[in-house]
Amino acid sequence: MSKQTVPLDYANSLMYELEKAFWDERGKGARFRMTKVGYQYFEEKVRPLLQSAEVEDILGKIQGVLKSEGIVAEVSYSREERLLRVSVKGCIHRAVEEKMLAKEVEPFTCVPANLIVLAIEEKLDIPVELAEIKMEAGACNLLLVLFEKRPSLD
């Protein structure tokens, strides 16, 4: 069996069309339905690496996977209590968001952000929300909010 790859332009054009169709159907509500995009990738590539329940360790593992897989060139972050600021440079999906911006639709989904959210929610059992995606020169700057631990009914 030969390993066949799909051209990035083709994959990104399909992602754009799917994202745009969802936006056309749901508007801003689409944002809250896109949080699990990347879940299968998370299961296969990220989850097996997660050992620590420390945010910095989790981010380091995700950063390593994204860089080694060629999805991003660089990921950096800073944390201020409940706010996590993440900067993603060289993302292979940036073209999708640029097309959305050309249609005057602010970015509302980000696979690297989703991987971070999925990992933190699983390892720390706290809700995380992607509050903002700002595309700036050479980077997507993400703002994630880490909420209080979920109450237990035990």
Return the CATH number at 110.
3.30.1380
Q: Residue 52 falls within a domain, yes or no? A: yes
Q: Residue 130 falls within a domain, yes or no? A: yes
Q: Which residues contact 22 (CB under 8 A, 6 or more apart)?
A: 30, 33, 34
Separation CA 23–CA 83 (nearest Å): 27
Q: Residue 41 falls within a domain, yes or no? A: yes
pLDDT at 139: 95
Q: Residue 60 falls within a domain, yes or no? A: yes
DSSP bridge pairs for 85 = 78, 143
Residue 16, pLDDT above cutoff 90: yes
How many distinct structural domains can be found in the chain?
1
Q: Residue 154 falls within a domain, yes or no? A: no
Q: Residue 17 falls within a domain, yes or no? A: yes
Residue 149, pLDDT above cutoff 90: no
Residue 98, pLDDT above cutoff 70: yes
- pTM for the model stands at 0.89
Q: Residue 152 falls within a domain, yes or no? A: no
79-95 tens-digit pLDDT = 999 999 999 999 999 99
pLDDT at 32: 85
Q: Residue 2 falls within a domain, yes or no? A: no
The CA-atom distances, in angstroms, between 76 and each of 79, 112, 117, 133 are 11, 12, 15, 15
In terms of residue numbers, what domain contains 17? 8-146
